[in-house]
Amino acid sequence: MAADFISRERSEFSRRRYYNEWGWGGYLAWRLGPEFPVFMDGRYIFHGLLAEASAADASTRAWNSFLDRWGVEWVMLADRPRTVTLNTPRGMVAMEHFESFFHPMQWSLVHRDGVARVYVRRTAFPDPWVATREAMLPRR
């Protein structure tokens, strides 16, 4: 599981701000402890972030602006591939959501287990560490 991966790689992840899905916050707070403050969870104090996160999912630009504004350096999301349609200079193009929202020049997929994906911002993590984790992923 992704939480096991984060726990094993604690030294790289613990000093960095992350984004987690709203429904996973309580579990992650329990599983990873206070060293990893969650971005949001099911408590009422985070409900304002739900609309903001949902709006950010409308476009690649909105998503990246959202992550930049909050200083997010890594992301843990459900591994639910879906297609999004983007308006590009070549017209409307259907793309896989993760491909379009996590451009490989900026983000690296370092863990995938069928339940969750963990992406890291390339500028926030050491290149050798990222390269090793990318190489360990099975190609799908």
CB-CB contact of 3 with 31 (8 Å): yes
pLDDT attached to residue 74: 96
The sheet carrying 74-78 orders its strands as 18-20, 74-78, 116-121, 107-112
3-class secondary-structure state, position 138: coil
Give the global pTM: 0.85
Task: Report pLDDT digits (tens) over 78-106.
Answer: 998 877 776 677 777 777 778 878 888 99
Task: Report pLDDT digits (tens) over 22-36.
Answer: 888 889 999 998 899
| Percent of the chain as helix, strand, coil, to the nearest 5 | 45, 25, 30
| DSSP string for 40-103 | --SSGGGHHHHHHHHHHTT-HHHHHHHHHHTT--EEEEE----EEEEEETTEEEEEEHHHHHS-
DSSP 8-state secondary structure symbol assigned to residue 104: T
Q: How far apart are CA 116 and CA 5, in angstroms?
A: 11
Q: How far apart are CA 75 and CA 36, in angstroms?
A: 12
